[in-house]
Structures are given as C-alpha cells and as structure tokens.
Structure 1
Amino acid sequence: MGATLVLGQQGRLVIPADVRAELGLAAGDRLHLQLSGRRLVIESQKDAASELRGLAAGVPKSRSLVDELLAERRQAAASE
C-alpha cells in the first residue's frame, strides 16, 4: 500500500483514512518517527517498543548494560 502525503504549512501530515484503517490507527494514537538516512520511518510506539525488546532479547538477564555504560563513562572521565 502506498500513499502520497502533502506537508501542510505548519509541518503537519495527514495519514489517509485507508492507511489508518489498515494499521488500526485512531485519533490520539502516539507514533514514533525516526530518520533512517534520508527516509522518515513512522511506526506505532507499541511496534517500536516491540522492536527494541527484540533487539535486547539476546542480552543475558545477568548482564547490566546500565552498569557497563556507567563504567565506560567513569573510565572516560578519569582519562580526561
């Protein structure tokens, strides 16, 4: 499915009704916008969160990415 959108004067886009229906979108739904090169990717927040959970699925529960990031930051600060 494809659609042509027109950017309004205030930077607003209107998603056509048939596209909203196909995606199950309703007024008030929150969408996540991401730049991918020169492309705009718009997805529901639920889909974006599911994608992130999938990316993190391979990280063992015993590993703390927060602790690793803090250790890296402390090491960088100490070497300045």
Structure 2
Amino acid sequence: MNATLVLGQQGRLVIPAEIRAALGLAPGDRLHLHLVGHRVVLERQQDAAAELRGLASEVPESRSLVDELLAERRLAASVGE
C-alpha cells in the first residue's frame, strides 16, 4: 500500500484513512518515528517494543547484560584513574 502525503505549513502530516485502517490506528495512538538514512519510519509503539523484545529473546536468561555493562564501566573507570 502506498500513499503520497503533503507536509502542512505547521509540519503536520495526515495519514490517509485506508492506511490508518490497515494498521489499526485510532485517534490518540502514539507512533514511534525514527530515521533510517534519509528515510522517515513511523511505527506503532507496540510494534517497536515487540521488535526490541524479539531482539532480547536471543539473549539467554542466564546472561545479565546489566552486570556486563557495569563490569565494563568499572574497568573503564579504573583504567582512567
């Protein structure tokens, strides 16, 4: 599905009704916007969160990324002393 949008004077875009319906968007829904190169990507927040959860699902539960980050920070701090 494709659409051409026109940027309004105040920087607003209107998402066409057929695209809102296809995505299940309703007034008041929050969208996540990010840049990929020179492209603007809009996605529902729950889809962005689900994608992040999917990435994290590859990390074994026995591994603590927080502990690893803290250890890296402590090492970096001790080297800088």
Calculate the TM-score normalised by the size of structure 1: 0.91
| Residue 72 (structure 1) aligns with | 72
Q: Which amino acid aligns with 2:67?
A: D
In structure 1, stretches of 5+ residues that fail to align are: none
In structure 2, stretches of 5+ residues that fail to align are: none
Per the alignment, in what secondary structure is the counterpart of residue 35 of structure 2?
strand
Structural RMSD (CA)? 1.1
Shift of residue 10, structure 1, vs aligned partner: 2.1
| Residue 24 (structure 1) aligns with | 24
Q: Where does 1:25-40 land on structure 2 (aligned, <5 Å)?
A: 25-40=25-40
Q: Does 1:55 align with 2:55?
A: yes
Shift of residue 71, structure 1, vs aligned partner: 1.4
Per the alignment, in what secondary structure is the counterpart of residue 47 of structure 2?
helix
Q: Distance in 2 between matches of 1:37 and 1:77?
A: 34
Please identify runs of 4+ aligned residues in structure 1 that moved more than 6 A: none
| Residue 46 (structure 1) aligns with | 46
Calculate the TM-score normalised by the size of structure 2: 0.90
Q: Distance in 2 between matches of 1:4 and 1:70?
A: 47
State, as a whole percentage, how many aligned pairs show the same letter: 75
Number of equivalences: 80
Q: Deviations over 1:8-60 (max 9, x none)?
A: 22222111111101111000001111111111111101111111111111101
